[in-house]
Amino acid sequence: MSIFKKVYILLVLVLPILSFCEDNSQFRILDIIAKKRDNIELTKKEINYFVQEYTENKIEDYQASSFLMAIFINSMTPDETAYLTNAMINSGKILNFDEISDPIVDKHSTGGVGDKTSLILAPICASLGLKVPMISGRGLGHTGGTLDKLESIDGFNVNQDSENFKQIVKDVGVCIIGQTKDIAPADKKIYALRDVSGSVESIPLIASSIMSKKMAEGLDVLVMDVKTGKGALIKDYESSLKLAIAMQNIGEKLNTKVIAIVSDMNQPLGMAVGNSLEIIECMQILKGECQKGQEDLRDLSFTLASQMLIAANKAENEKDAIDKINRVINDGSAFEKFKEMVKAQNGNEKSLDDYSLLPTANFKYFLKATKSGFVNTLDAMKIALGSSILGSGRKTIEDEIDLSVGVIIYKKISDFVEDSDILLEIHYNDESKLKEALSFFEDAYEIEDENVCSPALIKKILK
Ligand code: URA
């Protein structure tokens, strides 16, 4: 073994393990809880101690939840947040794409309704020379999940082992898989505790949770889409901006380029909500067939992709990036790239042209306006809850979902509607679920005589 290889193994493989297995005998969890309670900044070693000991079941849940609540109340400094992220990254496996020379990039969204930008921007970026190893999630609560959408495609396999995952990223340029147990296991345990002890909505805890999983992918560039509005995890703009800044700070302190975009999630993105309906909509955008009502989806996907291209030095500026994106849409190479990925992950690529091969609901119901006027509100949360009742979403991660159901949105904020115009095309399989969902869909719309401006799609880009 060459001296270079020995040094490499020491730096990349052994040191992170040693640093995660530090001598922790000098610490007591009680002192650390009290320090956080009294709002005194914690050291890297104290935070490492908490993460390591809790992951190894050496700290009781009641003490860990007390510590997390102290963080919720007193927050964390940027240094503490970065230490926590780093400790959670080192609790598991870190992917290594060193043999690939192209930039390794990914994008993550804090979750929205009709948010399918990953499925559009990933093949665009891959067809422009970036490598996109995307680890995605399933829909939970009101937000949809990329993995569920992909599983609408017959045979699509989101469970690739790490060798296949790397090979597909290398050969195709993009591969989308589910979270594996060995990536940031500390986050999994801490998140589960936060969920039952009232500390989910803490900016440093959310930021470190998301960033630990993403940074374990071994990325050069991460673009974060922080949603704000009625259908977002964080609803008010100021807090969404704080989250975006916290994630960018983590990137800076841990040497990964992070671009954070704050984007609107008051109304659903695009026209489709529901798994197979969203796949069809993505194919329309990738084929350059964008319709009225889908411009926000196209524009946000292209903006996120352009930031990935610029940050990875594949485009000089926004205009250059958008020109390149339009080229791969117009010449069909972005769509072909998506097809290639589907084939590599055992999906039936024929369904990307023949949509009747995707799961299709048995019935359609058309929700119509009961008066004329302008759409002032189209509440993303109510559309998501209605769609979830039809069967497209889950309350707990074990729930089964119906990939065929959902809605097509005909009218969005600031559109004029005549009395009896169609607002929603509802795809359903079960009459009783439709009845229950309808009250949410009806409540989602507010139609008034006065018009309002459509909410600005992109509120902020932190480069
Ligand atoms: N998503 C995550 O992965 N973690 C959080 O804390 C919140 C949303």
Catalytic site residue 37? no
Mean pLDDT of 59-73: 98
- How much is the pTM? 0.92
Q: 213 catalytic, yes or no?
A: yes
**Quick check: helix, strand or coil at residue 140?**
strand
Neighbours of 80 (CB within 10 A): 20
- pLDDT given for residue 394 in this prediction: 86
Q: Encode pLDDT of 219-261 as tens digits.
A: 999 999 999 999 998 999 999 999 999 999 999 999 999 999 9
pLDDT band at 10 (very low <50, low <70, confident <90, very high): low
Q: Would you call 187 a catalytic residue per the annotation?
A: yes
What's the confidence (pLDDT) of residue 11?
56
| Residue nearest atom 3 of ligand 1, based on CA coordinates | 210
Mean of per-residue pLDDT scores for the chain: 94
User: Is 148 among the catalytic positions?
Assistant: no
pLDDT for 1 equals 45
- Percent of the chain scored above 90 by pLDDT? 89
Percent of the chain with pLDDT over 70: 95
Q: What is the pLDDT of residue 313?
A: 97
Query: DSSP readout, 363-414?
Result: EEEEEE-SS-EEEEEE-HHHHHHHHIIIIIS-SSTT----TT-EEEE---TT
Pocket test for ligand 1, best of 88, 108, 191 (most atoms within 8 A of CB): 191
pLDDT in tens, 387-433: 999 999 888 778 899 999 999 999 999 999 999 999 999 999 999 99
Is the pLDDT at 374 greater than 60? The verdict is: yes
Predicted local confidence at residue 397, as pLDDT: 78
What number is the average pLDDT over the span 303-309? Answer: 98
Q: How far is the CA of 371 from the centre of ligand 1 (A)?
A: 40
pLDDT tier for residue 16 given thresholds of 50, 70 and 90: low
At CA 191, angle to CA 186 and CA 193, rounded to 5?
A: 100
Residue 24: band (very low, low, confident or very high) from pLDDT cuts 50, 70, 90: confident
| Domain 359-448 superfamily per CATH | Pyrimidine nucleoside phosphorylase-like, C-terminal domain (3.90.1170.30)
Give the residue-averaged pLDDT of 186-214: 94
Q: For residue 4, with 0-12 CB atoms within 10 Å meaning exposed, 13-18 middle and 19 or more buried, which class applies?
A: exposed
- 26 Cα: distance to centroid of ligand 1 (angstroms): 31
One of 1.20.970.10, 3.90.1170.50, 3.40.630.30, 3.40.50.720 is the CATH number of 3-74, namely: 1.20.970.10
Q: How far apart, in whole angstroms, are the C-alpha atoms of residue 39 and residue 184? A: 27
20 compared with 431, residue with greater pLDDT: 431
Closest Cα to atom 2 of ligand 1: 210
Residue 21, pLDDT > 80, answer no
* Inter-CA distances, 144 with 137, 253, 391, Å: 9, 31, 12
Residue 396, amino acid: T
* Sequence letter at residue 353: D
Catalytic residue among 36, 107, 108, 339: 108
Domain boundaries, the chain: 3-74, 105-355, 359-448
Residues near ligand 1 with C-beta < 6 Å?
Answer: 191, 205-206, 209-210, 233
Tokens 């008051």 map to which residue?
266
Q: What is the pLDDT of residues 68-99, one digit of tens each?
A: 999 999 999 999 999 999 999 999 999 999 99
Give 101-151 pLDDT, tens digit per residue: 999 999 999 999 999 999 999 999 999 999 999 999 888 888 889 999 999
Distance CA 224, CA 304 (A): 8
User: Helix, strand or coil for residue 110?
Assistant: coil
Q: What is the pLDDT of residue 149?
A: 97
**Do 3-74 and 105-355 fold alike per CATH?**
no
pLDDT band (50, 70, 90) for residue 19: low
Confidence band for 18, pLDDT divided at 50, 70 and 90: low
- The preferred substitution site among 68, 210, 240 for testing ligand 1, maximizing ligand atoms within 8 Å of CB, is 210
Burial class (CB in 10 A: 0-12, 13-18, 19+), 451: middle
Q: How far is the CA of 112 from the centre of ligand 1 (A)?
A: 13
Index of the ligand 1 atom closest to the CA of residue 213: 3
Catalytic residue status for 209: yes
d(CA 10, CA 12): 6
**Which class is domain 105-355?**
alpha beta
Q: For atom 5 of ligand 1, which residue has the closest CA?
A: 206
Q: How much distance in Å is there from the Cα of 443 to the middle of ligand 1?
A: 28
Range with the lowest mean pLDDT among 10-14, 179-183, 306-310?
10-14
Pocket test for ligand 1, best of 89, 200, 215, 225 (most atoms within 8 A of CB): 200
Count the neighbouring beta carbons within 10 Å of the beta carbon of residue 364. 10
